[in-house]
Amino acid sequence: MSNKELNLGTPEKFSLIYFFLHYTLFRVLFFFWYKRIQATGLKNLYAHKTTIVAPNHQNTAMDALVVLGVSARSMVWLARADMFNSNLARPVLQWMKIMPIFRQRDGLKALANNEKVFEKCVEVLENGNAVALFPEATHWGFRRLRETKKAVPRIAFLAEEKHDFALNVHIVPTGIYYENYQNPRSNVLINFGTPIPVKQFQTLHNENPQQAQQELKEAIDAGMKEQMLAIQHFDDEYDAYDLLRYMCADEVEKRFPAQGKYLQKRFNTHKKVVELLDTIEQQNPEVHAEIMAKTKTYKQNLQQNGYRDWVVAQKKTSALHVAWNTLVLLVALPVFIVGYVLHGYLFHGLAAIARKTAKDKQFRSTVIFGLLFLLLPIVYTVYALLLVSVIHMPAWSIAPFLAGIFAAALWSYDYAIVAKKTYKMVRFNMQRKNNPAINSLIQQRNGIVELFSKQVDELTF
């Protein structure tokens, strides 16, 4: 892409079609794709007219969709330039108010296009729209912040320079927390942090622009880390931390009760577990190493026996709970059948396409979501025509009937999850009676949690 070929369109202008689809089909699909959605600090997104949103980047395009899903503010996004290479994709991305940003891997000539892109970002800010981009530039499926780039400070200072620091640009560091990156019907939390006023760096910028960019970048990094779960360890120690935040959550909640609604409390508790483990590592590295070693062994034994930690924790695995789940599954079986017959082929087909086309697992949920966004209106139009022409259903009843089968589709997915969990409960309870390995798992887990809890009580803050 040369400068002459670079057409950024007019993303700062209002689009009726975009507005309509955003608040109808997209919002409906988004709020059913996730089971629980919670946003904190939303007021920070609307506190200032000229705003740059800076989220962490762990789940490809779903990160942008999650921010758009909870926000009513007009937002123009920057995405990697290679997405615009397709003649088919380019107009769609422009219609979605997305502009390209170029990286070193695109070549020095292409990298020069960023000046034009950044100038366009200034126009967007001047028109009262928000600009959103990922400071990390690339995604990865780990709960930590990668090294960030300087695109956000460059755009912010470029805008303020043009207006002699009177534009009042604020940067909102944002943290996105997924309980599961890939699976639909999981939970997602979006934390919008305290806005950072760019004007506070004016004096430093006048004296040393490079140092001002660096300090603003560091302030953004710190703000993002406050709003996200950051595990700084790697490889098998990262996996141990990722498991321990679930294992030790109840003990931490007893000692450090978290505030907020369900997802926020859960997030804050898990963040506290990670913080406490890091403190243990600093104050007593030998005990930390022991916790890590025992957790790695426990994780291996879980995998060998085909269980997840929640089963061994024996939460909701009692005979009464299993009986209740079984009753619910039997009563709801007809709803599951309807939902699965009418939608199972679509979801399994799209999942197969995602596995084939997206080698990076993080992209698969984005592929499925995007294809559903395109195909669901077509599928439901076909269903509506069949209802009218074949079954001769009255026109007034079509919409509620389609809403009903859509609800059945959601329940069929949740039903499958409940069925799998119930099977795991039954299997666990049966094996526990005569399988020493299962009782060993319980003892290992209890020992790790007790060791962690004892060490937490001995920490000095």
**CA contacts within 13 A on the Cβ side of 37:** 18
**CA contacts within 13 A on the Cβ side of 420:** 9
Q: What's the pLDDT at 3?
A: 45
Q: What's the pLDDT at 44?
A: 97
Taking the alpha carbons at both ends of the chain, their separation in whole angstroms is 55
413 closest CA partner among 355, 318, 342: 342
Residue 412 to residue 337: CA distance in whole angstroms: 7
Residue 69 to residue 28: CA distance in whole angstroms: 10
- Indicate the residue type of 111: L
CA geometry: angle at 409 spanning 408 and 412, to 5°? 85
**CA contacts within 13 A on the Cβ side of 275:** 14
What pLDDT, in 10s, does the model give residues 428-440?
Answer: 989 988 899 999 9
* Phi, psi (deg, nearest 5) at residue 319: -60, -35
Q: Over its length of 461 residues, how does the chain's per-residue pLDDT go in tens digits? A: 444 468 888 898 888 999 999 999 999 999 999 999 999 999 999 999 999 999 999 998 999 999 999 999 999 999 888 888 877 778 888 888 999 999 888 888 888 899 999 999 999 999 999 999 999 998 988 999 999 999 999 999 999 999 999 999 999 999 999 999 989 999 999 999 999 999 999 999 999 999 999 999 999 999 999 999 999 999 999 999 999 999 999 999 999 999 899 999 999 999 999 999 999 999 999 999 999 999 999 999 999 999 999 999 987 678 888 999 999 999 999 999 999 999 999 999 999 999 999 888 888 999 999 999 999 999 999 999 999 999 999 999 999 999 999 999 999 999 999 999 999 999 998 998 889 999 999 999 999 999 999 999 999 77
Q: What's the pLDDT at 442?
A: 95
Token code pair at residue 168: 């009042």
- 3-state SS assignment for residue 297: helix
Token code pair at residue 226: 């406050």
Domain boundaries, the chain: 16-226, 235-305, 319-443
Q: What's the pLDDT at 251?
A: 97
Q: What's the pLDDT at 5?
A: 66
Token code pair at residue 402: 């389609």
What pLDDT, in 10s, does the model give residues 159-173?
Answer: 999 999 999 999 999
Residues 6 or more apart whose CB falls under 8 angstroms from that of 206 comprise: none
pTM over 0.85: yes
Helix (H) or strand (E) holding 20: helix 16-21
Buried b / exposed e over 366-381, threshold 16 CB at 10 Å, is: bbbbbbbbeebeeebe
The runs of H, that is alpha helices, within 50-176 are: 62-70, 89-95, 108-111, 114-126, 151-162
* Phi, psi (deg, nearest 5) at residue 6: -80, 105
Residues 6 or more apart whose CB falls under 8 angstroms from that of 261 comprise: 38
Residue 361 to residue 367: CA distance in whole angstroms: 10
- Are 5 and 87 in contact by the 8 Å Cβ rule? The answer is no
- Indicate the residue type of 280: I
Residue 175 to residue 163: CA distance in whole angstroms: 30
- DSSP letter at 24 equals I
346 closest CA partner among 398, 436, 412: 412
317 closest CA partner among 426, 417, 415, 436: 426
Q: What's the pLDDT at 136?
A: 95
CATH number for 16-226: choose from 1.50.10.10, 1.10.760.10, 3.40.1130.10, 2.60.40.10.
3.40.1130.10
Residue 51 to residue 161: CA distance in whole angstroms: 16
Residue 96 to residue 86: CA distance in whole angstroms: 15
Q: Based on C-alpha coordinates, what's the Rg of the chain?
A: 25
- Count of C-beta atoms within a 10 Å radius of residue 386: 11
- DSSP letter at 25 equals I
